[in-house]
Structures are given as C-alpha cells and as structure tokens.
Amino acid sequence: MNLDRESVRKKLPANLDELAKETGALRRRRAVKCAEQLIWMSLMYSGLVGSLRATSALGEDTGDFDLNDTSVLYRLKNSVAFLTAVLNHLLLGSSRQFAAKGVHRRICLQDASVVSIPGSKGGDFRIHAAYVPGQGLSSVELTSIKGAERLERCEYNAGDIVIADQGLAHSRDIHHVQSVGAYSLLRACLQNLKLQDACGKKLVPSELLDLADKGVTSVDVFVPHPGADKPVQARLVMGRLPQEQAGRAREKLKQRLSKKQKSPRDLTVRMAGYVVLLTTVPASELTDEEVLKTYRLRWQIELFFKRCKSLLGMDELAATGNLAKSWLLGKLIIAALIDRSILKIHQEACSDYKVASRNLWRLTEYCQLELKAAMLGVCSEHPLFAGKSAEFLVEAPRKRKTVASRVDDLYGKMNSQSGRSRS
C-alpha cells in the first residue's frame, strides 16, 4: 500500500506544527493537538464527505479529532495559508523525486481551470497549474476568477520546454521564460502578438500566412517587449490544416463568437485554418515537424484537469470564501499525493527516462481508493491492498506509438548530451 497514513506522514513537512503556528492555523491546542490532525480534517472534508457535520462525525469515529461542525468550519477557514504551504512542499518533493530519474530538463504544460460555486453566474476560482508528464502536478496557484493567466505564475528549470495555449502567448510571458533559461512553445495568436524581423520591421500576419500557403514551414522572428533590453529571438512554425478540417475549425469559431454576439474578423477566420506555433527551442533540438508533434502533448494537462474533476470531484464545490479555498486546496493536496504515489509505482517498474506504461485514469482511481482507506483508518495489511495490484493496470500493447513513449523519447533527447544528463 503506497498511500497509508505512515507514507503520507513521511511526505509532509518535518516542521508541520511550527508551520501551522506561523500561518495561524494552530493558535490554540485544545481539541486539535497537532497540525497533522488538521491535515486529516482537510482531507476528510475535501476527499470523503464534503460536509462539515459529516467531517465532525468521521473525525470522532477515527479518533483524529473531537470537534463539532462549527469548530471544524473555524479550523478549515483558518488553514488556507497552512494548506498552501503543505501543497507546495509536496510539489517540491515530487520535483526532486522526478529529478532522481535523471530528468533535469522537463516538459512543462501550463494551463488554468475554472471552478464555480453551484448557482454562480460565472466562475468563482481559477486554478493555475503546471503539469509535467511523468511527474504530475509540479506547480499550482489558486486565485479568484479575476486572476490573469501568466506563465510567470509557475517555476521552471533551465532547459525546460514550457508548452501553453494561445491565451498565454504574450511577449511578457515569453521574455520571462527566456530570463530563467527555459524555452517556450506556444500556440501563437498573430492578431495579438507583435513580431519583428531581424531589422526591427513589424511582420504582417496575413503575409506570414501567405508564406505558409507557399509551403514555408517556419520563419525566424523576434518578440519585443516594453522595458526589455532586446527582443527574444524565436521561430514561427506554421502548418496549414487540410481543407475539411480547416472548414470545421472555422465553423466552430463562428458558432462560438455568435453565442457571444460577436462577428469574427476576416483574419481571425483565416487563422482558424492554420496551426501557428511560436517557439524559442533551437532548430538543432527540435525540427519544425517535431515542434508540431511536441505541442500535441499540451492535451495532457487538459486530461489532468478532467481526471481531477471526474475522479476527484474537484468541480463539486459547495462552499464560499476561505472555506471554499480550503476545500480546493484539500483536493489539490489529494491530487499531489496521488501523483507522488503513481511516480513511485513507475520508478519501481522503470528507470532513466521511462514515464508510464499504466493507465493514469485507473491508477488515479486505485490510489484514491488507497488514500480514502487511509483516511478511514483501514489497516495497510487489508486484503484489498495485498499483492501488486498495480501490475494489472498496465496498458495493453498498441501498434500506434503511445503518448508515454513519445514523452520518453523526448526526455531522452532533452536530457542526454554525449551520454550525460544535462542540468
């Protein structure tokens, strides 16, 4: 059993009580004697029952705490900063665990997901996350719906390839990624991104698309930013979609804008028929074709959010204010614990750059079941968790190359330099 109570304790910060005191989560030790009780309270509330009264009853049954629902509410509302610190500690540990496999340069997929309170007219919270294939969640920030999406919200290693959709393709973000020694690979929105040639002349989007129509696959460009000493040199990789696929993409665009009572511009409609990517990865590392294939990995963070909402119930928010933040942080802590457990299972089966031969959906369900058993105090020697059940979650052989094998190849290429790992 990978997620029993003892294994969870080992993943928590060593100075847990001090951390709880510093963040104001544990000011008076009355019914709650230590910070670990706050962790189990949060996990029970977020991962098991979703009710303050049920959390109170369950805590008494398991012997973790003896509090009424009002006291549970008070404790959870004051634990936001504490739970944030615990989550960041888990993510840091996961990053170190992944680096032990020899992966110092990573593929960082960044995106955000909106969570709404039932009855809300719009989104209430935005979860900004970076997801690393093979490692799992690597960075996360919880903001209100007004929190803008920025690449600078996450941390990167030198040499990482940061992949994101066009909503994050801004000159400010590209310059930030460049400043930390990482590379960008972004879906480009030519209407909103100012690009220059080597002489500083502004490039016209329609003329760039004309080049794509003539078979030009890439163009060297420069991305200026106000206040920056010099523009960032990049490569614009362009691919024209097949006529039928382009037609469907343009029709979807028109339908989406029609719902917002907006009329699409001619350039916007034309752009829908192309895949245009902006990358700072040198051509010596990734060819134009490899850039297009690598960008397709971005879908993995969408699947991560889908697993969190479908399997972990992250879209079932039924609270407001700090209690809602505490509930969401509890869900993210559960996701981080599951990611670390899955990574451990992979490490026991593979070495070097090998990522995943098992189905992440089934593994997430399996690890969630283990964690729920730990919350309920089920013994790790229970027959349900005996043996090597995870072996049965291996994917069946496929003729087509899987995402895991593509990631393995890319990690091997990124992290090998004359047979040595690059830091």
Q: Is the pLDDT of residue 356 over 90?
A: no
Percent of the chain beyond pLDDT 90?
A: 57
The pair of three-digit structure tokens given for residue 273, joined into one six-digit string = 């028929």
Task: Name the DSSP class of 48.
Answer: I
pLDDT tens digits, 308-323: 999 999 988 888 899 9
Q: Is the pLDDT of residue 121 over 70?
A: yes
Tally of CA atoms within 13 A in the half-sphere of 321 that contains its CB: 8
What integer pLDDT is reported at residue 280 of this predicted model? 97
pLDDT tens digits, 168-224: 999 999 999 999 999 999 999 888 889 999 999 999 999 999 999 898 999 999 999
Give dist(CA 365, CA 380) in Å, integer: 17
pLDDT band for position 120 (cuts 50, 70, 90): confident
pLDDT band for position 422 (cuts 50, 70, 90): very low
Tally of CA atoms within 13 A in the half-sphere of 5 that contains its CB: 15
For the segment 395-421, the average pLDDT, to the nearest whole number, is 71
What integer pLDDT is reported at residue 100 of this predicted model? 84
What integer pLDDT is reported at residue 383 of this predicted model? 46
Q: Is the pLDDT of residue 82 over 80?
A: yes
Q: Is the pLDDT of residue 271 over 90?
A: no
Percent of the chain beyond pLDDT 70?
A: 90
Tally of CA atoms within 13 A in the half-sphere of 226 that contains its CB: 1
pLDDT band for position 419 (cuts 50, 70, 90): very low
Helices 52-62, 35-44: inter-axial angle, 10-degree rounding: 130
Q: Which pTM was predicted?
A: 0.90
Least confident of 260-269, 284-293, 336-345, 356-365: 356-365
Q: Is the pLDDT of residue 132 over 90?
A: yes
pLDDT band for position 420 (cuts 50, 70, 90): very low
pLDDT band for position 384 (cuts 50, 70, 90): very low
For the segment 369-379, the average pLDDT, to the nearest whole number, is 84
What integer pLDDT is reported at residue 33 of this predicted model? 85
pLDDT tens digits, 321-350: 999 999 999 999 999 999 998 888 877 766
What integer pLDDT is reported at residue 418 of this predicted model? 34
Q: Is the pLDDT of residue 97 over 90?
A: no
Name which of 9, 337, 65 is nearest 55 in CA terms.
65
**Helices of type H across 231-297:** 243-259, 266-271, 288-295
50-70 burial string, b = 16+ CB within 10 Å, else e? bebeebbebbeeeebbebeee
